[in-house]
Amino acid sequence: MQKIVSLCKRRGFLFQSSEIYGGMNGCWDYGPLGVELKRNVKEAWWSEMVTHHDDISVLSGAASAYEMTGLDCSILMHPQVWKCSGHYDLFHDMMIDCKESKRRYRHDQVRGRWALLDDKRVFVTAICEPEEESETLMARAQKCFGLRAKERDRIGWDGDVVSLETVEDFDQVFGPDAKEPGTLTEPREFNLMFKTHMGALFDESSVAFLRPETAQGIFVNFKNVVDSSRVRIPFGIAQVGKSFRNEITPRNFTFRVREFEQMEVEFFCHPDSSQEWYRYWRDRRMQWYKDLGLSDSRLILREHSDSELSHYSTGTADIEYAFPFLPEGEYGELEGIAHRGDFDLRSHMEGKLNPASHPLEVELDEKGKPVHRGSGKDLSYRDPVTNDKYLPHVIEPSAGADRATLAFLCEAYTEDMAPDEKGEMQGRVVLKFHPRLAPIKAAVFPLVKKDGMPEAAQEIYRDMKREFPVFYDNKGAVGRRYRRMDEAGTPFCLTVDGQTLEDGTVTLRDRDTMKQTRLPVEEAKQAIREAIRC
């Protein structure tokens, strides 16, 4: 992972936000190559989900053709949206504070182990990489018992390393950065939404939130889309945009950040066919990652167990990837596909539903009044052909653009051998992106800076640039130029030489096989076009 992080900085994929001021935790900036890569990921998603989706019959049985359409909603929305969606009351992590170190931790991320010395028993804790865990806990136990290094073998252990969530009595807990046991507070709820104020007043009446997900903009516009575009159920609405979550412990490069982009679809269907649609989207979304290059062996589709499911959901699956920063056998979520029933539309219609009740009922306060009132608007759907009126069910494939980009980067990173200028084999670093995702599609090189070659190469470069991102490079030996493009993940390099001037042919070098083929410029262009289209 370290190698990927440093390549990202060196080649301009990702920079720490506000780096010259010491950086900003949980925020990253995409550099010149990174911005192209991420745009390509989002574009591939939009094209798959909206512009180029195949709307002819996809399911056996009743459900058939469907339409897909898009939206781009504002980040700031009416506060009532977050009350009815449940985010205002329920979107939180449990956190604990250390009274001594003044640090704050996520309850589920603090891990530790019971350590024993004579009649003393303490739960020593740490937040660290898995491979450092046992050494760090040993060092913490040694410190807690006031022992010297050579006395370490007096320490006994009771049970395995477990989450702090399994410990009830905090008096015996030795916090990750504390010098004394018993300095941690009880877990408290910490809402993950960023709060701000709209307008000149700075009081409770002006409070607004940065959206923690793009989905709610789609739900509250459901009626607008139906009325204005005349789509018929089943249909989906897609949105790509920024979301914000005040994560307590952002970590693992761009995997868990505070400002990120989501790519979400809310797919509205008849309740009777919703299970079929759930399975359809779950499988289709998994295939998308594979088609763009993530390997089967590093991807899993994990169905949530009944105990993990929200009450309103009859099925949720996560697409997970074996990121290199995770311990062997562990996976990180790329996307969740959830069957949300009619929970969201009903909440925005009637008021916040009680997630613990079944069938779902509006949550009432002690006086019997709705806790958060809905819009009162009728969000049900009337089929223009059958006249059937019902509240649609929703299937939600919800992906993160930053996590997908990171997974494609990790998968692409390869070290292999390539011949240098003298034909000797040397190690090379190459990013084997799918051509569609590659930030630069092709590089054009004149073999040497004379004899009309630069002029001919520039002409080809300008012509190709009208269709896709191309890079022109005339500096240094051709072998070195190839390597620079390998590191940027450029799938093709075209070299213009003396023969080009005579017969209009170039050499086309393939990044992955390093094979060079001589062919007319037009054919080289066509080969690139085909590679980036599929």
* Residues found near ligand ATP in the complex (CB under 6 A): 213, 245, 247, 256-257, 260, 262, 333-336, 398-400, 402-403
In whole angstroms, the minimum distance from the beta carbon of 47 to ligand ATP comes to 19
In whole angstroms, the minimum distance from the beta carbon of 245 to ligand ATP comes to 5
Pairing assessment for the beta strands 207-209 and 393-400 based on DSSP bridges: unpaired
Nearer to ligand ATP, 211 or 352 (CB): 211
Nearer to ligand ATP, 213 or 486 (CB): 213
In whole angstroms, the minimum distance from the beta carbon of 236 to ligand ATP comes to 16
φ, ψ at 322 (rounded to 5°): -80, 80
In whole angstroms, the minimum distance from the beta carbon of 324 to ligand ATP comes to 17
In whole angstroms, the minimum distance from the beta carbon of 113 to ligand ATP comes to 25
What is the rounded CA–CA span in Å between residue 226 and residue 237? Answer: 10
In whole angstroms, the minimum distance from the beta carbon of 170 to ligand ATP comes to 25
φ, ψ at 287 (rounded to 5°): -65, -35
- Give the CB-nearest residue to ligand ATP: 400
* Residue spans of beta strands (DSSP E) within 392-524: 393-400, 413-419, 425-431, 442-446, 470-472, 492-496, 505-510, 516-520
In whole angstroms, the minimum distance from the beta carbon of 141 to ligand ATP comes to 31
Nearer to ligand ATP, 298 or 465 (CB): 298
Nearer to ligand ATP, 106 or 373 (CB): 106
Residue closest to 95 by CA, chosen among 83, 86, 87, 103: 103
Nearer to ligand ATP, 405 or 490 (CB): 405
In whole angstroms, the minimum distance from the beta carbon of 175 to ligand ATP comes to 23
In whole angstroms, the minimum distance from the beta carbon of 247 to ligand ATP comes to 5
In whole angstroms, the minimum distance from the beta carbon of 287 to ligand ATP comes to 17
What secondary structure does DSSP assign to 23-60, as a single string?
--TT-EEE-HHHHHHHHHHHHHHHIIIIIT---S--SS
H or E segment at 97? strand 92-97
Nearer to ligand ATP, 133 or 333 (CB): 333
Burial 398-424 (b: 16+ CB within 10 A, else e): bbbbbbbbbbbbbbbbeeeebeeeeee
Helix axes 453-465, 521-533, angle to 10 degrees: 30
H or E segment at 278? helix 274-291
Nearer to ligand ATP, 398 or 490 (CB): 398
Fill in the amino acid letter for 18: S
List beta partners, residue 316. 338
Nearer to ligand ATP, 221 or 249 (CB): 249
3-state secondary structure 106-163: EHHHCEEEEEEECCEEEEEEECCCHHHHHHHHHHHHHHHCCCCHHHHHHCEEEEEEEE
Question: What's the number of CA atoms in the CB half-sphere (13 Å) around residue 498?
Answer: 0
Nearer to ligand ATP, 136 or 398 (CB): 398
Nearer to ligand ATP, 256 or 434 (CB): 256
Question: What's the number of CA atoms in the CB half-sphere (13 Å) around residue 395?
Answer: 25
The Cα angle at residue 114 between residues 108 and 120, in degrees rounded to 5: 140
Nearer to ligand ATP, 82 or 260 (CB): 260
Largest CA distance in the chain: 90
In whole angstroms, the minimum distance from the beta carbon of 402 to ligand ATP comes to 5
